[in-house]
């Protein structure tokens, strides 16, 4: 038996397809007309600055020391501008400038190199471990000149001037982890009271407290230096004396309180009846 012939009308398919497209378009238009409130919550990914970007930035020359004996160091601008001080200096350079140079005539070469090392590595030698500093074979033993303390103190003052508070905090922590002698501590105290602001109690107060607590012992090891320090920087002598007197006053108050408490106790009565 022959199969019945089936006839397909192509125009019907075309009309159905057009109808589906129109319906889909209407649904899209309806979605646009009725926002769900979720359109603006796409997370924006901040553009990441890679280390390669820093290395591609312009080279800045830093002239350290006086013009006659200046030492030139080089650093990438992309890293230098982490410091507000250097960011302001770099802003003065034009894009067409043949050379970019910053003069640091009064700064210490080693301390400046430590600042640059920090900008590249987030630390400087000797690096800080969990509880102590990396061994530094260059330090004399014993360190009577305060070489280790002075290194970190100079980094601290530069960090303050360059607007790098995290570096200043790091240098300050390293100061408290550095071993020295009485003479080395005097050299460090002289630098602090000469180079830092009188308002900077963050670094001055620990110096005065150190000598207030140990002056009765350490001053015999560096008596001449201690006396000269007090005469050269009267504020140092005043700060140390104030802390010594404050400590003495607190001890006296505690002693008086103990004596008053003892005198105020009631004595146990003794019966006058003799058995």
Residue 52 has pLDDT above 70, yes or no: yes
Classify burial at 132, counting beta carbons within 10 Å of its beta carbon; exposed 0-12, middle 13-18, buried 19 or more. Answer: exposed
Report which DSSP code applies to 133.
B
CA dist list (Å): 49 to 79, 80, 102 = 11, 14, 25
Q: What is the pLDDT of residue 130?
A: 83
Average pLDDT, the chain: 84
- Note whether 127 and 139 are within 8 A (CB): no
Residue 145 has pLDDT above 70, yes or no: yes
Question: For residue range 60-89, what is the model confidence (pLDDT) as tens digits?
Answer: 999 999 878 899 999 999 999 999 999 999
Q: What is the pLDDT of residue 96?
A: 80
Question: For residue range 204-262, what is the model confidence (pLDDT) as tens digits?
Answer: 999 999 999 887 777 788 889 999 999 999 999 999 999 999 988 888 888 878 777 65
Q: How far apart are CA 110 and CA 275, in angstroms?
A: 90
Sequence-ordered list of residues with C-beta below 8 angstroms from that of 130, at least 6 positions apart, any chain:
none
Question: For residue range 184-219, what is the model confidence (pLDDT) as tens digits?
Answer: 999 999 999 999 999 999 999 999 999 998 877 777
The owner of tokens 């303050």 is: 160
């Amino acid at each position: 038996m022959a199969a019945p012939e089936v006839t397909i009308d192509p125009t019907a398919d075309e009309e159905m397809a057009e109808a589906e497209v129109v319906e889909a378009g209407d649904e899209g238009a309806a979605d646009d007309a009725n926002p769900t409130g979720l359109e603006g919550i796409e997370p924006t990914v901040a553009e990441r600055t890679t280390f390669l970007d820093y290395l591609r930035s312009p080279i800045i020359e830093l002239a350290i020391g006086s013009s006659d004996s200046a030492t030139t160091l080089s650093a990438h601008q992309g890293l230098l501008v982490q410091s507000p001080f250097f960011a302001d200096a770099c802003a003065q350079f034009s894009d067409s400038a043949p050379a970019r140079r910053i003069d640091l005539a009064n700064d210490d070469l080693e301390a400046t190199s430590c600042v640059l090392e920090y900008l590249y590595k987030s630390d400087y030698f000797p690096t800080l471990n969990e509880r102590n500093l990396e061994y530094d074979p260059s330090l004399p033993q014993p360190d009577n000149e305060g070489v280790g303390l002075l290194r970190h103190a100079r980094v601290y003052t530069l960090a303050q001037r360059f607007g790098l508070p995290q570096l200043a905090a790091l240098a300050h922590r390293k100061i408290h982890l550095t071993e020295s002698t009485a003479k080395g501590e005097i050299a460090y105290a002289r630098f602090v009271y000469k180079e830092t602001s009188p308002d900077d109690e963050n670094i001055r107060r620990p110096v005065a407290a150190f000598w207030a607590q140990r002056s009765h012992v350490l001053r015999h090891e560096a008596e001449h230096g201690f006396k000269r320090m007090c005469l050269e920087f009267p504020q140092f002598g005043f700060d140390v004396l104030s802390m010594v007197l404050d400590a003495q006053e607190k001890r006296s108050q505690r002693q008086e309180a103990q004596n008053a408490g003892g005198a105020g106790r009631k004595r146990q009565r003794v019966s006058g009846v003799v058995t």
